[in-house]
């Protein structure tokens, strides 16, 4: 498999990439169209507001309850899975997880891996890791297949290739696969089907993610529309599932509302085409299914988020993508601008725990705090509140204890801190404030012409000749209300 | 220390002094809005399944094999994978002996390793039973087993499924409690709600992604 070579050189920071994306009208219209349609579909799928709000409340309850008992649930899950014949592995870092997966593939002399959609495997950059070791790891979800073919990364957690239109996909298939040019979506999908069917037939190992792991029965639940998830988990002789430690729920019944919230929030569908519950490898009297099933449980910063009661809520996430579909910033800059595995609002609140806030210092501020993400989140994660918290963590002074978010304080500036201190003083002491107003109005002509990034796109603010206080005083002096009162 | 110990220790330290939340699962939220009078269940399931390109026929216990023959003939399908050891498989086999020309019947009777290429490349259609249906979401429920293995409903381009009308439940929660799923599940349980599909290119819905291109559901109204 080819190494991932980015086809277009992307700017190295969020702001630079955002500027590039904003200037790309094709990209903007691809996202705008897709997000409008996803928002409409979700709204249609939740036509009864009371029903929706009741279910979101229940979704939040189930996730919060699971997290409040997470270590015990993980142990219960391990016991049940083991009893069912599924082998459980634990990994603290993505390196460990990759080593485990690689070891399992090597043990079977595997050379070809076919993978169903899995965001955790993106966290691991599993494709690259395996490619470096001469193992082909092919994405089988149509969208993932397209982005892999173009050496790109997904731009959306549910719709990985949403940044491309049919013409671009057709050109890609033409260039890489020698297919004739066709913008007919059906035809493009049939090309993907033909190629990937052969891979499902030949693959030595199938890799998948997990939507929910059920402790009570020892079951891995996967939702999907295409059938590639079923193929990847059924056809090859070995199945390796990778997932984050937060994905476990207590009871089978817990997944009823969660699946409904997930598919309706993500795609506006009452249910996906397939809900696949796997509770073991092939039994002696069965004729297909993998002989071995493995589950790799990955931490990768999740225990860090878990340690902070407020940030723990990020682990409620069921990866539906609704927050990004409704985000005015995401819709305009697209997924690649974020430069990380998880884009959009959810990305902003989970990425710091994985890579450190200092690596993504602009993410918490790339939000208008309009609140749409929190309003649509099916498990009621207060995303805007968490963004504000991260903004505070970003400017934490050096030496601040305890360090609750990895890489906090990278935007700390002494100058900014002093400015805010001055602002507080000015606004809490009337004498200073009066003096300031007097100066600002008298010497308004001396106001600076440049005020940081603000003046890049706006004209500089100039104080008025008279302050509002002053004007109000005059007004009250002349007004009838005041006279009556007197 | 092992990754397992480290992870569990960290989680336990973070939870020190807290209690697990009580279970306040309110089942009315997942059942209340999803109840149907018995006579409307079939219609509800049919409507939802048809909305995602499933072909649905309402037929009867004695009539369905003839219907299967017609559906296959219309598509010029020349072979059908079926399970002779099941009651419906037996019924199909005897109906096939009426002397008219019919698609060849094939059987999934050996481990997949012995005929994977044949299954992937040659089989044109399959017929399986179901363990029931769900009206709320328009879903079939399949518990694959030795007779009707997991790939049987996935690999062939056309999948025909038999569904007894009496086996349709209002919603998933009702079904799993009525059948006591939490006591333990088989290797694989599937909810299937249409033919395979994708909207990964421009949000345009295309059917026949990786699984069956066509799903045909025969609802047996008298059983
Ligand atoms: S944060 Fe909420 S809305 Fe966003 S992906 Fe996660 S569950 Fe969905």
Is A359 within a domain?
no
Does residue A406 form part of some domain? no
A45 in Cβ contact with A370 (< 8 Å): no
Domain with A281 in it: what CATH number? 3.40.50.10420
β-sheet with A112-115: strand ranges across = A86-91, A292-298, A238-244, A205-208, A112-115, A136-139
For residue A266, is pLDDT > 90?
yes
CB contacts of A285 in chain B (<8 Å) are 146
pLDDT(A190) > 90: yes
In this predicted structure, the answer to whether residue A3 has a pLDDT above a threshold of 70 is no
pLDDT-based confidence at A7, cuts 50/70/90? very low
Pocket test for ligand 1, best of A212, A322, A382 (most atoms within 8 A of CB): A322
Q: Is residue A433 part of a domain?
A: yes
**Confidence band of A477 (pLDDT split at 50, 70, 90):** confident
Q: What is the pLDDT of residue B40?
A: 95
Q: Please tell me which of the candidates A70, A225, A226 has its beta carbon nearest to residue B11.
A: A70
pLDDT value of position A449: 86
Q: What is the pLDDT averaged over residues A366-382?
A: 97
pLDDT attached to residue A456 = 87
Cα B24 to Cα A59, A66, A260, A305: the distances in Å are: 11, 12, 18, 25
Q: What is the pLDDT of residue B17?
A: 93
Does residue A268 sit in the same domain as residue A148? Answer: yes
Whether A248 contacts A74, CB under 8 Å: yes
- Is there a contact between B182 and A217 if contact means CB atoms under 8 Å apart? yes
Name the percent of chain A lying above pLDDT 70.
Answer: 96
pLDDT computed for residue A5 by the predictor = 47
- Residue-wise pLDDT tens digits, A43-99: 999 999 999 999 999 999 999 999 999 999 999 999 999 999 999 999 999 999 999
Pocket test for ligand 1, best of A62, A223, A263, A320 (most atoms within 8 A of CB): A320
Of A29, A232, A236, give the one whose Cα is nearest residue B209. A232
- Mean pLDDT of all residues in A399-403: 81
Q: What is the mean pLDDT of residues A190-217?
A: 95
**Structural domains counted in chain A:** 2
What's the A481 CA to ligand 1 centre distance in angstroms? 52
B35 touches chain A (CB under 8 A): no
Same domain membership, residue A274 and residue A423: no
Of the candidates A91, A200, A279, the beta carbon closest to that of B3 is on: A91
Instruction: Let me know if residue A313 belongs to a domain.
Output: no
Interface test with B, best of A256, A282, A353 (most B CBs within 10 A): A256
Question: Residues of chain A with pLDDT > 90: what percent?
Answer: 83
- Give residue A439 CA to ligand 1 midpoint distance, Å: 49
Nearest CA to ligand 1 atom 6: A317
Is A197 within a domain?
yes
**Quick check: is A428 in a domain?**
yes
To which H or E segment does residue B163 belong? strand B158-164
Cβ(A318) – ligand 1 distance below 6 Å: yes
A98 falls within a domain: yes
CB contact under 8 A, B21 and A190: no
Asked whether residue A402 carries a pLDDT value surpassing 50, the answer given is yes
B3's CB contacts (< 8 A; 6+ apart) are A90, A91, A92, A96, A299
Residue spans per domain, chain B: 37-221
Residue B217 in contact with residue B54, Cβ under 8 Å? yes
Domain that holds residue A424: 415-485
Which region among A7-21, A302-316, A351-365, B95-109 has the lowest average model confidence (pLDDT)? A7-21
A65–chain B Cβ distance below 8 A for any pair: yes
Q: Is B223 on the interface with A (CB under 8 A)?
A: no
pLDDT the model gives residue A9? 53
pLDDT band at A485 (very low <50, low <70, confident <90, very high): low
Q: What is B37-221's CATH number, 3.30.450.20, 3.40.50.720, 2.70.70.10, 3.40.50.10420?
A: 3.40.50.10420
What pLDDT does residue A461 have? 86
How does pLDDT run across A432-476, given as a tens digit for each residue?
Answer: 999 999 998 999 888 888 888 888 889 888 889 998 888 998 899
pLDDT at A332 over 80: yes
CB contact under 8 A, B206 and A189: yes
The overall average pLDDT reported for chain A is 93
Residue nearest to atom 4 of ligand 1 (CA): A323
How far apart are the C-alpha atoms of A476 and B6, rounded to whole Å? 68
The DSSP element (H or E) to which A205 belongs, if any, is strand A205-208
Quickly state the pLDDT bin for A1 (edges 50, 70, 90).
very low
Q: Is the CB of A346 under 6 A from ligand 1?
A: yes
Segments of chain B scoring below 70 in pLDDT = none
């Amino acid at each position: 498999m080819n190494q991932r070579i980015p086809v277009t050189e992307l700017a190295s920071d969020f702001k630079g990439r955002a500027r590039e994306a904003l200037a790309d009208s094709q990209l903007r219209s691809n996202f705008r169209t897709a997000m409008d349609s996803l928002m409409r579909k979700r709204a249609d799928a939740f036509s009864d507001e009371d029903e929706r709000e009741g279910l979101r409340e229940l979704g939040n309850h189930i996730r919060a309850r699971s997290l409040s008992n997470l270590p015990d649930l993980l142990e219960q899950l391990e016991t049940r899975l083991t009893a069912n014949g599924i082998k459980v592995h634990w990994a603290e870092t993505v390196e460990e997880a990759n080593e485990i997966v690689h070891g399992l593939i090597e043990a079977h002399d595997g050379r070809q891996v076919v993978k169903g959609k899995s965001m955790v495997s993106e966290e691991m950059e599993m494709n690259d890791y395996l490619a470096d070791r001469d193992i082909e790891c092919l994405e089988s979800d149509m969208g993932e297949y397209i982005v892999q073919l173009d050496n790109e990364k997904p731009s959306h957690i549910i719709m990985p290739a949403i940044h491309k239109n049919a013409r671009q996909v057709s050109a890609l298939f033409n260039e890489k696969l020698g297919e004739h040019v066709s913008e007919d979506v059906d035809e493009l999908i049939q090309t993907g089907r033909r190629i990937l069917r052969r891979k499902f037939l030949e693959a030595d190992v199938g890799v998948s993610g997990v939507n929910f792991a059920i402790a009570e029965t020892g079951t891995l639940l996967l939702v999907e529309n295409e059938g590639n998830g079923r193929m990847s988990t059924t056809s090859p002789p070995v199945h390796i599932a990778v997932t984050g430690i937060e994905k476990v729920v207590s009871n089978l019944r817990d997944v009823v509302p969660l699946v409904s919230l997930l598919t309706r929030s993500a795609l506006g569908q009452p249910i996906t085409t397939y809900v696949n519950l796997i509770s073991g490898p092939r039994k002696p009297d069965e004729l297909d299914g993998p002989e071995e099933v493995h589950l790799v449980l990955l931490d990768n910063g999740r225990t860090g988020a878990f340690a902070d009661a407020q940030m723990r809520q990020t682990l409620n996430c069921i990866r539906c993508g609704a927050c990004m579909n409704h985000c005015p910033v995401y819709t305009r800059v697209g997924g690649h601008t974020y430069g990380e595995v998880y884009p959009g609002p959810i990305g902003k609140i989970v990425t710091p725990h994985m890579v450190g806030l200092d690596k993504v210092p602009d993410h918490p501020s790339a939000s208008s705090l309009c609140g749409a993400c929190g309003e649509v989140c099916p498990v009621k994660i207060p995303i805007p509140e968490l963004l504000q918290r991260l903004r505070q963590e970003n400017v934490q002074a050096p030496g601040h204890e305890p360090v609750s978010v990895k890489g906090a304080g990278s935007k700390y500036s002494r100058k900014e801190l002093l400015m805010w201190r001055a602002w507080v003083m000015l606004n809490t002491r009337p004498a200073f404030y009066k003096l300031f107003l007097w100066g600002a109005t008298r010497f308004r002509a001396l106001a600076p012409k440049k005020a940081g990034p603000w003046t890049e796109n706006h004209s500089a603010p100039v104080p008025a000749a008279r302050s509002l206080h002053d004007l109000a005083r005059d007004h009250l002096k002349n007004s009838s209300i005041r006279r009556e009162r007197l | 220390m092992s990754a397992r110990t480290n992870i569990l220790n960290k989680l336990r330290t973070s939870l020190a002094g807290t209690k697990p939340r009580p279970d306040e699962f309110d089942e009315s939220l997942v059942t209340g809005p999803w109840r149907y009078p018995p006579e409307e269940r079939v219609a509800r399931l049919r409507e939802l399944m048809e909305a995602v390109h499933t072909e649905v026929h309402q037929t009867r216990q004695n009539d369905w094999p003839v219907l299967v023959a017609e559906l296959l003939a219309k598509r010029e399908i020349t072979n059908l994978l079926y399970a002779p050891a099941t009651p419906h498989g037996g019924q199909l086999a005897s109906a096939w002996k009426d002397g008219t020309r019919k698609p060849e019947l094939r059987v999934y009777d050996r481990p997949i390793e012995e005929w994977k290429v044949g299954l992937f490349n040659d089989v044109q259609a399959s017929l399986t039973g179901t363990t029931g249906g769900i009206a709320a979401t328009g879903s079939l429920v399949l518990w694959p087993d030795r007779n009707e293995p997991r790939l049987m409903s996935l690999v062939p381009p056309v999948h025909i499924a038999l569904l007894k009308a009496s086996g349709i439940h209002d919603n998933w929660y009702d079904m799993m409690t009525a059948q006591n799923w939490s006591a333990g599940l088989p290797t694989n349980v599937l909810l299937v709600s249409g033919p395979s599909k994708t909207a990964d290119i421009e949000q345009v819905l295309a059917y026949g992604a990786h699984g069956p291109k066509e799903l045909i559901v025969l609802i047996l109204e008298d059983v």
